[in-house]
Amino acid sequence: MRSSLAFLCVLFGFVTFARSETPPANRFEKEIAVYEEADKQNPPPKGAILFTGASSIRLWKTLAQDFSGLTVINRGFGGSQLADSIYFADRISIHYAPKTIVIQAGGNDINAGKSPEQVLADFKTYVEKVRASLPDVKIIFLNLGPSPKRWEQREAQQKANALVKDFIASGKNLVYADLWPSSIGADGLPKPELYVEDKLHPSAAAYAIRTQLLRPLLEK
């Protein structure tokens, strides 16, 4: 009986540890290395507009076309959280010396169980790290948009958005770009046409909306 109880305690302890385990900080090293190799072959210009963050940025294949007339760089890496953007900031944010950074991250954080307060704290850390080297860079936060697949997370997403929005309102050269109004239909649910088959990632129609939202902010 005692041996069985001890086994259950060990097993429970293992499960608890596994659930709370933090992903390796360098888990996207291969993806970043690919970007760095591409930069060696074709170095991007300084003073461009950098798009970074998670898969919604990485999958924006029409970025250069959508923002024709502007010099844009896509350095999104799918599945990433704000902590990953912080960890790799030197290599995929600061390295390019951009005049503007558009970042969309935080949705994967909420999905991983992080609190809205942690999303805010990590966004602040990202801003502080980037601004330490690029004090005048403009940073646009493309907020956590809704999706059918993660609709049950909407309250946490909206709270994170509100916290970041308040922080941005008191900051310098920070901009909040809100996807929610254009993403919700008359029924109060995410518009299905704005998502691909997985009901999570943006469709071509969604990227068109993002372009309309961001272009005026980037042309200022």
Q: What is the pLDDT of residue 24?
A: 83
Distance separating alpha carbons of residues 3 and 161, to the nearest angstrom: 49
Is pLDDT above 50 for 18?
A: no
Is pLDDT above 90 for 108?
A: yes
| Average confidence (pLDDT) over 95-105 | 97
| Average confidence (pLDDT) over 108-114 | 97
- What are the residue ranges of helices labelled H in 63-142? 63-66, 82-87, 89-92, 107-111, 116-133
| pLDDT (tens digit per residue) in 206-217 | 999 999 999 999
Instruction: For strands 72-76 and 100-104, give the pairing.
Output: unpaired
Q: What is the pLDDT of residue 220?
A: 79
| Average confidence (pLDDT) over 74-91 | 95
Q: Is the C-alpha dihedral spanning 114, 87, 32, 45 positive or negative?
A: positive
Is pLDDT above 80 for 17?
A: no
Q: What is the pLDDT of residue 142?
A: 98
Domains of the chain: 2-219 (3.40.50.1110)
Is pLDDT above 50 for 12?
A: no
Is pLDDT above 60 for 8?
A: no
Could you tell me the pTM of the whole model? 0.89
| pLDDT (tens digit per residue) in 192-202 | 999 999 999 99
Q: How many residues does the chain have?
A: 220
175: enclosing H helix or E strand:
strand 174-177
Is pLDDT above 60 for 39?
A: yes
Is pLDDT above 80 for 20?
A: no
Is pLDDT above 60 for 4?
A: no
Kindly report the average pLDDT of the chain as a whole number: 91
Q: What is the pLDDT of residue 22?
A: 65
First to last CA, the chain: 72
